[in-house]
A = this chain, B = another copy of it.
Amino acid sequence: MPAKVEDNQRRGWIVPVGGAEDKDSDPVILRRFVEISGDADARIAVIPTASRLDDTGARYERIFRELGAADARSLEYKRRTDVDHPEWLEYLRNATGVFLTGGNQLRISTILGGTHVARAIRTANANGVSIGGTSAGAAILSEHMIAFGDSGATPRAGKVSLAPGFGLTNRIVIDQHFRQRDRIGRLLAALAYNPFAIGVGLDEDTAAFIDGDDRLEVMGSGAITIIDASKLEHSSMGTANDGDCVCMTGIILHILNGGARYDLHARVATPPPGTLD
């Protein structure tokens, strides 16, 4: 469950990005992330835990500063013992935005899961702080995270593995590099287990900006595939053998490009402004 939002607070933005977002020529996604994190007053904590590279965090520090943030700092959590670093935790608790880099989401969950770093991120979001992440950093944001799975258009039993994420929201299951790595089958399979959540498949260079009322807006050069299984008539996931295709009927699909919106409570899609005839 997401951390409790106090009565006088509004939950902060949740911003999953599909990976490979533009960082140079026209970084609209990262620029907007700075804006919703306080703009010129933004202090952004970068968490490069997913990445095995040494310079991932420093790169985002530089980008966020160039985009006008007051400060940005990479907190180099690389093993579980790092979570006791007092200065990093202090920075995290005072941040106005937190951004998780790409890499492997299981590195984030195994290194930070159950620590006060994860708790600090959950509390921050409940108190209005923007939490974003790209690729693996997007996957970790929701309660049910796709850890790994086979690519392909067909959902197959046993071919997607879920793990607990940070749990900032339990409304969605996120998948990333969506078009680029052919992942609709594994996202469908993830929803076939339990269709209460909404599947959000993010193309590269594409982000979902989800406000405190769970209204999602699409930004970037790709599309977001929304899979709404709430009207599911049948799923064979309960009886399918390992590797079998899963039979699913009655799924609702929306393909949303930049400017389109989706209300995660009402389950209503709205095209970009000006495109309705």
Q: A-side interface residues toward B, CB under 8 Å?
A: 151-155, 178-180, 182-185, 188, 201, 203, 222-223, 225, 227, 233-234, 236, 239, 244-257, 260, 269-272, 275-276
Complex interface: chain B residues within 8 A of A246 (CB): 223, 255, 257
Q: Is the CB of B255 within 8 A of A247?
A: yes
Query: Considering the chains assembled together, what is the distance between the CA atoms of A275 and B245 in angstroms?
Result: 14
Q: Which residue of B lies closest to A227 (CB)?
A: B253
Whether A275 lies near B154 (C-beta < 8 A) is no
The 6 closest A-B pairs by CB, nearest first: A223-B245, A249-B269, A182-B182, A251-B253, A154-B179, A153-B179
Q: Which residues of B contact A201 (CB under 8 A)?
A: 153
Say yes or no: B222 contacts A255, CB within 8 Å.
no
Given the known interface contacts A153-B178, A153-B179, the answer about A248 and B254 at a Cβ–Cβ threshold of 8 Å is: yes
Q: Which residues of B contact A239 (CB under 8 A)?
A: 275
Contact of A153 among B154, B184, B234, B236 (CB under 8 A): B184
Partner pick for A250 among B180, B250, B252, B260, CB 8 A cutoff? B252
**Bound CA–CA A179/B252 (angstroms):** 19
Residues of B within 8 A of A244 (CB): 257
In contact, B203 and A223 (Cβ under 8 angstroms): no
Partner of A253, one of B152, B178, B180, B252: B252
Q: Is the CB of B203 within 8 A of A180?
A: no
A152: which B residues are within 8 A, CB to CB? 179-180, 182
